[in-house]
A and B are shown apart, each in its own frame.
Chain A
Amino acid sequence: MQTSTPGPKPRMAVHKFASCDGCQLTFLNMGETLLQLADMVELVHFAEAGPVAPDAEVDIAFIEGSVTTEHDLERIKQIRSHSGFIVAFGACATAGGIQALRNFADAGEWLSAVYATPEYIDSLATSTPMSDHVKVDLEIWGCPPNRDQVLGAIRAWLYGTLPKQSQDKVCMECKRQHAVCVLVAKGMPCMGPVTQTGCGALCPSFGRGCYSCYGPAEALNTDSLAGWFEGLGLLPEDITRQFRHLNNSAPGFRDAATNIISTDAGHGH
């Protein structure tokens, strides 16, 4: 059975921006499959795995991380100009990541509170996803995305199609895994009903509520879930924190948190 594509191998790059490197580990943790992949595509740039050629022309580029500096901004525009198909993968590249919490605060104030010499730090006031700055051909959500999503995307791209991405809520997968619902059976806040699948309902399978690593699902009803959390006894600030997590700046969650804060202020809390 042939494993490599006939003709010249497609060229691939993996770039890193503001991030924890966890999404790149999705590649590195593939083990033998990574060797198989390396047989099918030419890994031109992937600093964490070895090859370094950030400015090389490629057919497909995976982007990890968010835009947090002026330099990032220049770099992603540059990458766009010499990459055929761009995949933004992970919560940072698709929604700004956990570091986008700065979008709701005074980033300058944080800098001077944390660093002895804040003038050495040169960063933007916001953390933003790739799609805010360049045309992104495919987004893979998740913190981190799982290997099947990443491999599925590459496979589909090699076929010349887009991957079929499930929009189901985590609850659907939770029930397929036969996990007992922690929200119903334990009264724990769980973000499964507003989060898209991808993780295999990992947290509920271990008796914990979903943290919403994969970001807002479609047909989103954050108000209803927030209202139910309130009935469980959560304070408005705790409910806000549920939405201001790894995907805090994804529009669906950003607006949910803003709603809770403004409603709470309206009640004179």
Chain B
Amino acid sequence: MSQRTQGRSILPGVNVDDVFKDHDRYFLPRQSFQSLIDQLTLQGYGCVGPVMRDGAIIFDRLDMASQLPQGARDRQAPGYYRLENGGGPRWFSWANGPQALKPYLFPSREVLWEGTVDEDGGLNFKERIIEPEPLAVLGVRACDLAALAIHDAHFLKGPSPDAHYARRREQLFIVAVHCSHPASTCFCVSTGDGPAATRGYDIALAELDEGFVIDAGSDRGKLILDQLPLSKVDEAQLDQARRELNAAVAVQTRALPEGPLNRILFENLDHPRWDEVAERCLACGNCTSVCPTCFCASENEVPSLDGQTSEHSREWSSCFTQGHSYISGHVIRPDIRTRYRQWLTHKLGSWIDQYGRSGCVGCGRCIAWCPVGIDLTEETAAICKDARDE
């Protein structure tokens, strides 16, 4: 896969000035951006990227640079998301929308296998083999890359890697864009996952008014770069890109409390805050659906009417659904309190024991897209505060 830039992340206190230090950086003028889309298309990739639809930034098929959300700014707050026109030539002056990479690798619904009854009444099972087209996603953020690394660990590294995920992953080409305009809901600095894209991409871009500072993070990325009308990047452009990243760090106000959350949360399973949040939480599953690291699914048998075939399908589920806590005739998490607690203790706590890091990359999506504006940083802080006061 991509040639990784070893071991760097933008942790609190780490100097973002290091981001543009090593490998070769070039400059791609804004008016030549279309050549990037064209080159990707020429080399066989279908391109998707950010566009404005129904009042949000969503990822969709992208053929022309003119489809990009020029001047768009996202105003986000708990339970609130609005796009505004901030003017100017830029295409990436927003933080994020409800989804980015997740639906492309882990679709919300797909058939995994099919069962059929043969002439003699025997059962046959046939795996659904998928052959995905090469796909280039433009406009991926640092938090999305961090979430992707988590999904890779979950879907690919276990004893039985997920074949569908693996095939889609092999075909994925990533054009990352450093974040210059985090939303008020973003806290990637506190999780150590952004705002700079430092690894796991094929091409990375830092947007300036006149164009992009561009570099390749993989051999495939280099092949594309070789075909673009690039010039040498100058010091002033690098300075500008660094200043914008520093500003993107400084502007973030939300943060997760210091850990170890896997200990603190589990020591506070009876904290009254769980009852309090359960009064507000709707158990609707929006938070888990927009979370780029959540991977829970339910599997269902969908028989044909004649009963001769059945499709085994997988769809996004959530720790907030009843089905997710149903075990052999018994619902083990019958109320909203235990379901919210499951979400937070897994995401921020037991995830660390399971995958070696927290399941939160600080994208803030669950805060903005919660219909009643529940903010996990606030809930976690309330529980940790009492733990520390003790």
Contacts and interface: CB of A to CB of B under 8 A. Distances in A.
Contacts of A36: 305-306
A37 B322 CA distance: 32
A194 B368 CA distance: 19
A180 B53 contact: yes
A2 B308 contact: yes
Interface stretch (A20-28, A86-94, A127-135, A181-189): A181-189
A contact residues, range: 35 or more
Given A180-B54, A180-B55, A185-B55, A221 B322 contact: no
Contacts of A185: 54-56, 81-82
Contact of B283 (A177, A190, A221): A221
Given A178-B108, A180-B56, A2 B306 contact: yes
Interface stretch (B32-40, B246-254, B274-282): B274-282
A218 interface: yes
Nearest to A156: B303
A218 B284 contact: no
Contact of A219 (B98, B301, B315, B322): B322
B336 A228 contact: no
Given A169-B285, A171-B284, A219-B283, A179 B54 contact: yes
A225 B55 contact: no
A239 to B, nearest CB: 14
A190 B81 CA distance: 15
A219 B331 CA distance: 12
Contacts of A221: 279-283, 336
A172 B80 CA distance: 18
Given A154-B305, A178-B99, A193-B371, A172 B56 contact: no
B336 A186 contact: no
B contact residues, range: 35 or more
B316 A183 contact: no
A168 interface: yes
Contacts of B369: 181, 184
B285 A175 contact: yes
In this complex, which of B282, B300, B323, B335 has the most chain A Cβ atoms within 10 angstroms of its Cβ? B282
A180 B98 contact: yes
**Majority SS of interface residues in chain B?**
loop
Contact of B285 (A152, A168, A180, A228): A168
A155 interface: yes
A224 B120 CA distance: 56
B96 interface: no
Contact of B303 (A155, A172, A219): A155
A207 B98 CA distance: 15
Given A184-B79, A185-B54, A218-B322, A194 B282 contact: yes
A225 B79 CA distance: 12
Interface string B367-389: 01111110000000000000000
Contact of A224 (B82, B108, B279, B368): B279
B323 A166 contact: yes
A199 B306 CA distance: 23
Contacts of A158: 307
B289 interface: yes
A176 interface: yes
Contacts of A2: 306, 308
A173 to B, nearest CB: 9
A130 B262 CA distance: 50
Given A175-B290, A184-B369, A228-B79, A159 B307 contact: yes
A167 B285 CA distance: 12
Contacts of B322: 167-168, 218-219
Contacts of A113: none
A193 B306 contact: no
B350 interface: no
Nearest to A192: B284
A177 B103 CA distance: 10
A219 to B, nearest CB: 4
A262 interface: no
B321 interface: yes
Contacts of B372: 193, 224-225, 227-228
B339 interface: yes
B293 interface: no
Contacts of B300: 164
Interface in B290-318: 290, 300-308, 315-318
Interface string B171-195: 0000000000000000000000000
B316 A176 contact: yes
Contacts of A3: 306, 308
Contacts of B305: 33, 36-37, 40, 151, 154-155
A234 to B, nearest CB: 14
Nearest to A5: B307
A184 B99 CA distance: 14
B285 A172 contact: yes
Interface string B310-352: 0000011110111100000000001110010000000000000
B286 A181 contact: yes
7 closest residue pairs by CB, A with B: A175-B289, A176-B108, A180-B54, A193-B284, A193-B282, A171-B284, A185-B55
8 contacts: A1-B308, A33-B305, A152-B303, A171-B285, A175-B286, A180-B98, A192-B284, A207-B54
Interface of A: 1-3, 33, 36-37, 40, 151-152, 154-155, 158-159, 164, 166-169, 171-172, 175-181, 183-187, 190, 192-194, 207, 218-219, 221, 223-225, 227-228
